[in-house]
Chains A and B, each alone.
Chain A
Amino acid sequence: MKSNIFYSFGKYLGLLGQAFSKPEKLSMYWKETLRQMDGIGVGSVVIVALIAIFMGAVAALQFAYQLNGQLIPMYYIGYIVRDLAIIESAPTITCLVLAGKVGSNIAAEIGGMRQKEHIDAMEIMGINTASYLILPKTIAGLFVIPFLVTLAAVIAILGGYLATVPTGTLSDVDYIRGLRAYFVEYNVLMMYVKAYVFAFILVTVSCFQGYYVKGGSIELGKASTNAVVFSNILILLADYLIAVILTV
C-alpha cells in the first residue's frame, strides 16, 4: 500500500515533468488554453455563484442565531461572514465543488481520449501529449479558478447581506459596518495562495487520473471518481498545511 502511494506519486511527478516542457507550437497551446478557460471558467460561474450565495446566507443566519442575546454586537455578523468567506469558504468550498465538476470532467475527457486512441494518434504525430493535454488545462485553471474564488467571496458576502438585511435581522448600516471592521489585507493574500494551490491540485490530479486510464468504461468511471476523491483529500490536506504555515 505504502509503495503504491510512492509509486503513484513518482508517476505523478514524472507526468508533470513531461507536461511542463517546451510546447511544440505556442499558438496551438494558446488556442487550447483559451478553450479550457471557457470550459473551466465560464462553464462554472453559475454553480459557483449559486453555492456562494447560500454559503454566505447560511453563515449570516447561523451567526445571527448564535449572537442573538449575547453581549457581542450584531454588526459582527458582517465581519464574520466576510472573513469566513475570504479565508475559508470561498477558496476551499469553491475548489471542492470545482474538483467535482471540473476535475471529473477533465479525467473523463483525457481518459476517453486514451481509450479512443486519440492520445496514441497524437503521440505518433510527434506531439508531447502530456504537455499538450495538461499544460493548457493547468494554465487555464491557474488563471480562471482564482477569479471564480474572488467571485465566490463577493457573492457570499452579498448572500449574507440578502439573508439578514431585507429580513430585518440586521440593519444595512450594521452589516456594512461589520464588513469594514478589522479588515486584514493579509487574509486576501491567504485566499489567493489557497486558490492557486487548490487550482493546481485539482487540475493536475484529475489530468493524472485520466491520462493513465486503462480498460473500458468501468475504469473510466473509476478514474473520474478517483480524480474527485484524491483532489478533495489533497485540497483539504493543503488547506490545513497552508493554514499552519500562513497563520503561525
Chain B
Amino acid sequence: MIRIEHIKKSFGDVQVLKGISHTFEAGKTNLIIGKSGAGKTVMLKILVGLFPPSSGSIFYDDTDFIGLDKKQLRDLRMKVGMLFQGSALFDSMTVEENVRFPLDMFTAQTKKEKDDRVNYCLDRVGLNNANKKYPSEISGGMQKRVGIARSIVLNPTYLFCDEPNSGLDPKTALVIDELIKDITVENNITTVINTHDMNSVMEIGDNIALLHLGELAWSGTKDEVLDSDNDILQDFIFASPFLKRLRNKAMGLK
C-alpha cells in the first residue's frame, strides 16, 4: 500500500499539484486519470522518486519515502518495478538481456537461476519466441510486454505503469491491461497506473483517482464511475459526443 498526504509540487511559479492525499491499495490496480496537463505524470514521477515533492509525505506501507537516505532508497527500489510509456528498453540489448539486466545488476543468482527467471517472466507475458530479438525488431505491443517482464523480474511489491496503452490498438491494449491486472492480483502488488484510456478505467479500475488542475477531483471504483454525479468525472469519462449519446441512451435520456 502507498499513502500520499498533502503532496504539493511547483515548477517556478506554476503549482502543478495542490495538496493531494490518497491511498493506493495493495493487490489492486490503482488508476490515476485526468486530462493532459492535470498533473498525472508529475504525480507518478514524485511517487517513484524522480521528482522531489515541494511538500507533503509519501509512505510505502510504513516507510516514509521522503526521509530515506541513499542506501535505504536503493533497498526500497529493489521492490519497485516500472513500465514506461515508451517501454524504455535498452536498444543495445536483446529482449532476454533487457529482462535479465536487473538480475545481473542486483542478484548473486547463478546463470541457470537467472535463465529460469527470465524465461518464466517472458512466458508469463506471453513472449517465448523473442528472446534473441532486439527491441527494434519487435512490435510496440511486444515491447510493452518485455517492459512488463523486466519490471516484474525482481518480484516487485510496487509496480508503476505510465500510460501502458499509449500507441496500442484497443485489442492489444486490453491484453496489456489484463496482464497487469492478473500480475497485480497474483503477487498482491500495489500497482499504480497513469492513464487516460477509458477502456482501462472501466476494465481494471479497482481504485481510481481523478486529477483535475492539480487537485484530486474524485476517487472511487470503476463501478462507481457511472453513478457518480461529479461533473468533472462525467465530462472526462464521456468526453466524446458518441459516448455521451450512449450514456443518455442507457439512462433513457434524450
A97 within 8 A of B: no
Instruction: Determine the distance from Cα of A126 to Cα of B48 in the docked complex, in whole angstroms.
Output: 11
User: Do A126 and B78 have beta carbons less than 8 Å apart?
Assistant: yes
- The listed residue (B49, B78, B84, B106) touching A121 by CB distance below 8 A is B84
Q: Which residue of B lies closest to A127 (CB)?
A: B105
Q: How many Å lie between the Cα of A124 and that of B160 in the bound state?
A: 10
Say yes or no: A24 contacts B90, CB within 8 Å.
no
Per the bound structure, the CA–CA distance linking A202 and B101 in Å amounts to 28
Residue of B49, B78, B84 with most chain A CB atoms under a 10 A cut-off: B84
* A11: interface (CB < 8 Å): no
B78 touching A117, Cβ below 8 Å: no
Q: Is A25 an interface residue (CB 8 A)?
A: yes
Contact yes or no, B105 A125, CB < 8 A: yes
Q: Which of A27, A28, A123, A124 has the most chain B CB within a 10 Å cutoff?
A: A124
Interface size in chain A (residues, C-beta < 8 A): 14
Verify if B32 is at the interface (C-beta below 8 Å from A).
no
Tell me, in angstroms, the Cα distance from A28 to B106 when the chains sit together. 10
Contacting residue for A120 out of B84, B90, B105, CB 8 A: B84
Question: Is A116 on the interface with B (CB-CB < 8 A)?
Answer: yes
Contact A116 B105 (CB under 8 A): no
The 8 Å CB contact of A125, one of B50, B75, B77, is B77
Interface residue? A214 (CB, 8 A): no
Q: What CA separation (Å) do A184 and B73 show in the bound complex?
A: 55
CA distance A24 to B88 in the complex (A): 21
Q: Which A residues between 83 and 123 are near B, CB-CB below 8 angstroms?
A: 116-118, 120-121, 123
B86 near A126: Cβ-Cβ < 8 Å = no
CA distance A227 to B23 in the complex (A): 45
Q: Are B88 and A120 neighbours in the complex by a CB distance under 8 Å?
A: yes
Q: Does B210 contact A (CB under 8 A)?
A: no
On whether A124 and B77 interact (CB within 8 A), knowing A116-B88, A118-B90, the answer reads: yes
Contact with B along A1-40 (1 / 0, CB 8 A): 0000000000000000000000011011000000000000
Given contacts A124-B48, A126-B78, A127-B105, 8 further A-B contacts (CB under 8 A): A28-B104, A116-B86, A116-B91, A117-B86, A118-B88, A120-B84, A125-B102, A126-B77
Provide 6 A-B residue pairs closer than 8 Å at the C-beta atoms, listed in order of the A residue: A25-B104, A25-B105, A117-B86, A124-B48, A125-B106, A126-B73
- Name B's A-contacting residues (CB within 8 A): 48-50, 73-75, 77-78, 80, 82, 84-86, 88, 90-91, 101-102, 104-106, 160
Query: What are the 7 tightest A-B residue pairs by CB atom distance, in nearest-first order?
Result: A126-B77, A121-B88, A117-B88, A126-B74, A124-B82, A117-B84, A124-B48
- Name A residues whose Cβ lies closer than 8 Å to a Cβ of B: 24-25, 27-28, 116-118, 120-121, 123-127
